[in-house]
Structures are given as structure tokens and as C-alpha cells.
Amino acid sequence: MIIHTSKTDLSHSMHSIVELKGVKCGYRCGYCGNAWGKASYGMWSHSMTVQDYQDLIDRGWRRSGKYVYKPIMNKTCCPQYTIRCHALNFNPTKTHKKTLKRMNKFLSNGEMPVERSDGKIEGEPMDSAHEEGVRPPPQDLLKIDHTDVEEFTTSPDTDSKSTAHLTPREDPAPTPPEKTLHVAPKPGKGADPNRPMCRKAKDIRKERRLQKDEQKQQEGASTSVTPVPLKSTSNQPKLLEDFISESFPTDPLHRLEVRLVRSNPPSPQFKASFDASYQLYKLYQIAIHMDPPEKTTESQFKRFLCDSPLEAKTAPDGPDVGYGSFHQQYWLDGRIVAVGVLDILPSCVSSVYLYYHPDFSSLSLGTYSALREIAFTKQLQKQSPKLSYYYLGFYVHSCPKMRYKGHYRPSDLLCPETYVWVPIERCLPHLDTSAYSRLNEDAKAGDAQALRDVGRALVLHRRAVMPYAAYARKRKGSSDEKDAEQYAGLVGQTCAERILLYRS
């Protein structure tokens, strides 16, 4: 069946339209510094439904602007595994709690964390991994994975200091090793047998409480006094929302407001704040990533973080804000200090990127914004029960500084062969052995969406929508069947039958 349509009809249709760009190999890896190590497939997306993009990222794809790419996992030097966090069951770590408490202290009284001499905040990873990813046409475009903004301040290959081989907490020895090693301990007399054994302070306190309770019961037996329990039954661990919504003084020193504005199509609020947002992005790229000012242009900013192929959509069972692409702006005392770029999809909130004011880097805004986005996902789930995951982009186990994403638990990694989700705890032993792993331990399992019939894949040719089989009959002698099979295999049979593959 062939459906004829016009460009106007297509621009307002509910179809996704993609143009295959093929394989890109041998470009620089921002994780390990290999100049020729990365490899990926790529497509240019003219339009994309939120359901199609949800299905694509569940097959290892990811977007940068309107460019959609998928790492070739068994060829790229640093395999990138799609990772998702179960937002409803998320348990913040001690590091996460410290980050939230530091932000609350800053808002209350202006107390800023003090950076160590190595630029780190105690208990926090460094901000920002600088990943050079696929460069979409027509102009080179820097691709950086959003929550990777939690790790490096410089690319790994630029750190040439003499102490680069040391771990973060390791310092050069102050004296030559031969003067400090093999020193025998001085002889001692040992424990005094006439003194009682040492006891833990908490055991002593517990014993005293029990003695007091027994004494009170004896003294007040006639009045039937109920003994006080040793532990309060209401002493439950604080939830993520409790830390975020912690009460402040009546007159806090700073006020933080988080605003969600639709970036595509741009809402009036997005347009009103565009210049301030762009100036913040430019400042961030120059200060944190050392980008030349001439490359951080307004048009580059629009292509990278404002343009999106995702349709804006509302649904009766969807969140009130709708689906699509958004900017979550952090306004501190009336000015933007950070922006998280998000996609809201049928099953998840997908983190795209974060940029922030360098003056506030000590507040660990990368971690803080990720925690706020997890809380935001939980909020949306109350309106849309299916929307319960927070996608952090890619997890790169072969790069130790990128493993922090695995601390947002419970979380799963996507098997690159069967496209099923596997709890990260079961994946780590495999990744410790090999950078690339199947992850799914069921040897008999396969890809449920594997290509079955390329002839049923939809094609857009000369303003007409048709199955690939009909297109091949019209184009006798066409030599693009291998490309079509590769494309349909990568997106899966279901998406191949929904998405329109543009053919000239």
C-alpha cells in the first residue's frame, strides 16, 4: 500500500522521519583519549514521536540535538551502556545526602563548601566528563552526555601532571621509602590483666538506660508507668524529598526556584529567558571545557540543546506538563545559575545535558540536579503511572571516573545484544572482566524485536509512504537493501514498521 502525501502533511503527521547517515568510525574518545577509538551508527531525525524515541533509547540509541546515534558496542574503545534508575525505589547514598545538605546550608546562611587543593569537594566526584561524540551534519557539533557533567574538569588526555598516576587520595611520600619501611615496633608490656576489658561506649550507654528503666519501674510500680522504648518507632530514614523540601529559616539568605520550560516548540517563558540561558551556557563551556569563544555561538547552542526532533504531546494518562523536550532552570535570587536539559517520555525522564555557573561548582550542581530530576520523575509518576524511570545516559565501566552513575540505585544496564534490562549488581562482575559484555546471562535469550521482514519497514520516497517491498519493486536494481536491513535491525522490527526511512 502506497500513501501519497505532501510536505505539509508530513510536517503535521504523527510519523517519525529519519535519514540514515551510516557508520562513523575512528574518531576521538573523550573517555580514554584514544584518537581513533570510537565507532557509532547515526541517523538524522527530521521528526520523532516520543514513543518511537522511547523505544530507540531502549535499544541503545541517544540523541544530540536532532542527531540520533548508537555506539557500536563491540568495536568502540569504551563501550557505553544505557543506564536507568528506578526512581520510585531510589535510595540516596551518603554522598548524595551530603550534597543536598550542603545546598540547604548555602541557601540558609550562604555557607559555601571549601574546595580542596585538588579542586574536589570531600566525598564528591569531579564535575564533568568531556565526551566528544558523534558530530551531526551539516556542521560539527560537540556532543556531551548530560550527567557526565559529574566527573572531569578536563579531558583525560590533557592531564599530563607528574602526579597523574596517583589516586585522588594518594599523595607523594614526604620521605624516601627506605627510611620509612621495615621499622620494627617497640616492645610493649601488653594489656594489664588487673584492669577490666575495654567496652564500646554504646554498650555502656545501653546498659545505663536499662538500669534507669528498671529503677523507674521499681519506683513507680504503683502508678503503672510505661517504660520508654530504647528506640523510637517513628525514626524512619529520610526520603529524597525530605532533604529537598527541608524547612528553612523564615528569612533564608538565598532563594532557589526551579522552573520547567518547554524548549521545543519554545514556550513564551523559554523565549523570555533564552539570552540569559545562552550566556550561562557560553560561560560554562569556556570556563569548564575550555571551548574557544568563537565556537560557543548562539546557533551552535540552539542546534545542540534547543533543537529537538521530539514532538510536543499531551495525553489523558500523561503528565500535566506533557511529553517532549524541556529545560529545567535553576533560578537563584532571580538569576539562572544552572540548566538541566530533559526529555520527558512515556516511561521515563531522560537526562540530556547540564550546564551551570562556574562560581557555584563547589555546590556539586551536577549531583544536585540529578537528585532533583529523580524527585521530579517521582512527581510525574503520580500523574502518569507508567513514567517511573530516570535515564542517566550512558554508563562507561571501562572509564573509572564515569562509574559514578552506578551509584544511583537501584539501577539497570541495557544488554547490548538482547536489549533487556539487567540489574547493575549482576553486570559489574562481567564488566570487570571485559569492557564489552552481553550482560544477559541467559544464553538462549535473543532480541525480541529482531528484524523479521525488511519488506514491511516503512519508507518515505518522493512524498509517498510505502513499505520497503513496494519501494524495492519501484526501484528495480536498487543496491540499498543491505543498508535498509542494517537500519531495520538496529531500530527493531516494531520501530521499522512505524518510523519513515527517508529515501531520495
CA distance 341 to 369: 10
Strand order in the sheet with 421-423: 256-264, 324-332, 335-344, 348-356, 389-395, 81-86, 411-414, 421-423
pLDDT one-digit tens code per residue, 354-382: 999 999 999 999 999 999 999 999 999 99
pTM of the model: 0.78
Mean pLDDT of 405-425: 98
pLDDT for residue 504: 87
* Contact status, residue 330 vs residue 373, Cβ threshold 8 Å: no
% the chain with pLDDT above 70: 76
pLDDT one-digit tens code per residue, 24-60: 999 999 899 999 999 999 999 999 999 999 999 999 9
Q: Minimum mean pLDDT among 210-214, 255-259, 265-269, 303-307: which range?
A: 210-214
Residue 407: count other Cβ atoms within 10 Å of its Cβ: 16
Does pLDDT of 178 surpass 50? no
CA distance 276 to 280: 6
Does pLDDT of 496 surpass 50? yes
CA dihedral 179, 182, 185, 186 (to 10 degrees): -60
pLDDT for residue 184: 52
pLDDT averaged over the chain?
Answer: 83
CA distance 368 to 380: 18
Q: Which residue has the higher pLDDT, 118 or 324?
A: 324
pLDDT for residue 189: 57
pLDDT for residue 133: 39
Does pLDDT of 141 surpass 50? no
pLDDT for residue 196: 62
**Three-state SS at 421:** strand
Does pLDDT of 319 surpass 50? yes
Mean pLDDT of 90-117: 91
pLDDT for residue 5: 57
Share in percent of the chain as helix, strand, coil (round to 5): 35, 20, 45
Which DSSP category does 310 fall into? Answer: B
- Range picked from 137-141, 183-187, 453-457 for highest mean pLDDT: 453-457
pLDDT band with cut points at 50, 70 and 90 for residue 248: confident
Q: Which residue has the higher pLDDT, 111 or 163?
A: 111
Question: C-alpha grid cell for residue 407?
Answer: 551509584
Mean pLDDT of 334-360: 98
Angle of CA points 393, 288, 275, to nearest 5° = 85
pLDDT band with cut points at 50, 70 and 90 for residue 2: low
pLDDT for residue 246: 84
CA distance 84 to 412: 6
CA distance 389 to 404: 18
